[in-house]
């Protein structure tokens, strides 16, 4: 059972890696294993580099297997994933994929106006790997480069790797970016600031934006008590007139938000945060909302400011949602709130089956509290137990290692929230099924910190 669990989970990794390369991604044996050796093959100017542990005997994959066994009905879920993988790829895991796997799968994103992907692997059965690549599609070409099998959509992409005069592993920017990543990880990733911005701009058909990023890196690590992701970013020096990024602070709202919440998002809203320089980069529903209500960005700027928290508590019928913020002008914020309620009312009124939600608010000591129930306002103003003393929140903080000072944090009581989401899903006609039983899933905690030009972000999904 354990080997089958690992195999099906890894099948998804293989399918994504080979599938991305085949599509071109175009805009028109040990307990501890260090992955990322493909950086010695990748060119130094790579826009991004992703290394994936594909050694199914590694400690990381055994940890994944242990986590999956804690989830409810995981065998049924994995069986569906295996069936879907084999139906869509026309590949047999046992005969085609597993023998071809080496110790790692790497993905190199080459720079340019359109992204080009090159896959790298080594250590598996070469004949099986060649057969796998042939079955994956006629558009994939491959060749041997310094003991690695490189595969891509075009020979030109392979040539860019084979003929590179400098390699990523020797690049000082890459070395700085991956220095903090875990050696023993499921995934390690890197993105070059300038090259990544050029690729991002190509998706929108415009010129690259001003450089704000030097590099970014991330990893994903499995352990016996959960799944942890780290991300690190180094910003370019701010230009004159640009707002400084938020510094880490000790949250004051954790001492005022009532205990027993299901979800909390606490962040700092800087002045002009909703002055979108490129609305076309926003999600389409938000673009449509702004097009219908051009005053929306200015209303949000007036409404939200300073340390701001959105949290959810259980309610009599549906969960109660409350927002606490510290706007510069509470009178202007109340006016903006009235405009925003009208805007959301029109949007929700055009969506069939979405129930109307009451909105109440109050101003207290320079703070604006907005809630979907009077009980939400009363709970915030009461002297009852607060989030800072909530046993579940404190346990999640400790398990995740979240510091007191952050640039913002997220907390989700997964075990209590999922059943409620399943209960109200039919009211909002949600298109996806929500599991009624969270099983061993306990909490999700995420936060950011900053030291000078470097910011870090951590997410931890805790299991029992």
Tell me the per-residue pLDDT of 127-166, one tens digit each, with 9 for 90 and over: 888 888 887 766 788 899 999 999 998 999 999 999 999 9
Residue 7 reports pLDDT greater than 60: no
User: Would residue 241 be called left, alpha or beta, if left means φ above 0 and alpha means ψ between -120 and 50 degrees?
Assistant: left
Tokens of 423: 């209960």
pTM: 0.83
- Over range 222-226, report the average pLDDT: 92
Most confidently predicted of 102-116, 198-212, 341-355: 102-116
Tokens of 304: 């939200």
The pLDDT value given to residue 428: 54
Report how far residue 301's alpha carbon sits from residue 289's, in angstroms, rounded to the nearest whole number: 16
Task: Specify whether the CB–CB gap between 444 and 393 falls below 8 A.
Answer: no
Task: Specify whether the CB–CB gap between 42 and 120 falls below 8 A.
Answer: yes
Spell out the residues 6+ positions from residue 454 whose beta carbon is closer than 8 angstroms to its own. Answer: 232, 233, 234, 235
**Spatial CA neighbour of 319 closest among 265, 380, 261:** 261
**Spatial CA neighbour of 142 closest among 155, 127, 126:** 155
**Spatial CA neighbour of 152 closest among 264, 26, 254:** 26
For tokens 């001492």, the residue is 255
**Spatial CA neighbour of 215 closest among 237, 232, 239:** 232
Residues in the chain: 464
Number of Cβ atoms within 10 Å of the Cβ of 242: 11
Q: Return the DSSP state at 36.
A: -
- Over range 29-51, report the average pLDDT: 83
Spell out the residues 6+ positions from residue 331 whose beta carbon is closer than 8 angstroms to its own. Answer: none
Residue 169 reports pLDDT greater than 90: yes
Q: Return the DSSP state at 335.
A: H
For tokens 């080459």, the residue is 110
Name which residue leads in pLDDT, 401 or 241: 401
Most confidently predicted of 57-61, 137-141, 408-412: 408-412
CA atoms within 13 A on the CB side of 136: 29
Q: How far is CA 189 from CA 48, 89, 195, 217, 452, in A?
A: 7, 25, 15, 5, 22
The strand pairing partners of 310, in sequence order, are 265, 323
Residue 402 reports pLDDT greater than 90: yes
Using CA atoms of 428, 429, 431, 436 in order, give the dihedral in degrees to the nearest 10.
70
CA atoms within 13 A on the CB side of 108: 32
Q: What is the mean pLDDT of the chain?
A: 82
- Over range 190-216, report the average pLDDT: 63
Helices and strands in the chain: count of H runs, count of E runs: 13, 18
Task: Specify whether the CB–CB gap between 150 and 141 falls below 8 A.
Answer: no
Name which residue leads in pLDDT, 108 or 271: 108
Q: How far is CA 121 from CA 104, 115, 274, 292, in A?
A: 6, 20, 44, 49
The pLDDT value given to residue 246: 80
């Amino acid at each position: 059972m354990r080997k089958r669990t690992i195999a099906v989970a890894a099948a998804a990794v293989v399918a994504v890696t080979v599938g991305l390369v085949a599509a071109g991604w175009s805009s028109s044996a040990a307990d501890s294993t260090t992955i990322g050796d493909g950086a010695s093959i990748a060119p130094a100017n790579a826009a991004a580099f992703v290394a994936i542990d594909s050694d199914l005997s590694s400690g990381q994959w055994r940890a994944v297997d242990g986590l999956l066994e804690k989830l409810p009905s995981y065998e049924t879920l994995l069986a569906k994933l295996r069936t879907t993988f084999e139906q869509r790829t026309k590949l047999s895991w046992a005969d085609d994929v597993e023998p071809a796997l080496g110790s790692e799968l790497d993905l190199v994103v080459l720079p340019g106006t359109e992204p080009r992907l090159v896959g790298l692997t080594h250590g598996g059965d070469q004949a099986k790997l060649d057969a796998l690549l042939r079955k994956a599609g006629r558009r994939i070409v491959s060749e041997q480069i310094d003991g690695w099998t490189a595969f891509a959509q075009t020979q030109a992409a392979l040539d860019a790797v084979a003929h590179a005069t400098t390699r990523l592993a020797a690049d000082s920017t890459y070395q700085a970016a991956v220095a903090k990543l875990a050696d023993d990880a499921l995934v390690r990733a890197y993105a070059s600031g300038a090259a990544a911005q050029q690729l991002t701009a190509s998706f929108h058909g415009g010129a690259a934006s001003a450089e704000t990023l030097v590099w970014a890196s991330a990893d994903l690590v499995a352990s016996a008590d959960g799944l942890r992701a780290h991300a690190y970013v180094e910003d370019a020096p701010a230009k004159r007139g640009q707002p400084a990024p938020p510094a880490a602070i000790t949250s004051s709202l954790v001492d005022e938000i009532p205990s027993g919440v299901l979800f909390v998002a606490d962040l700092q809203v800087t002045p002009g945060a909703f002055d979108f320089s490129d609305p076309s980069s926003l999600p389409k529903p938000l673009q449509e909302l702004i097009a219908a209500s051009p005053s929306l960005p200015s209303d949000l700027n007036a409404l939200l400011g300073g340390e701001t928290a959105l949290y959810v508590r259980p309610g009599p019928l549906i969960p109660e949602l409350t927002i606490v913020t510290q706007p510069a002008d509470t009178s202007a914020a109340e006016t903006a709130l009235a405009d925003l309620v009208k805007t959301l009312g029109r949007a929700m009124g055009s969506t069939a089956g979405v129930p109307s939600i009451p909105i109440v608010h109050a101003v207290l000591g320079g703070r604006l509290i907005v809630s979907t129930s009077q009980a939400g306002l009363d709970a915030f103003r009461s002297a009852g137990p607060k989030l800072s003393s909530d046993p579940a929140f404190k346990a999640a903080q400790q398990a995740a290692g979240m510091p007191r000072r952050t640039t913002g944090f997220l907390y989700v009581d997964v075990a209590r929230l999922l059943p409620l989401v399943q209960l109200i899903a039919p009211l909002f006609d949600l298109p996806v099924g929500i599991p009624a039983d969270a099983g061993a899933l306990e909490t999700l905690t995420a936060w950011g910190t900053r030291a000078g030009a470097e910011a870090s972000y951590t997410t931890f999904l805790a299991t029992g």
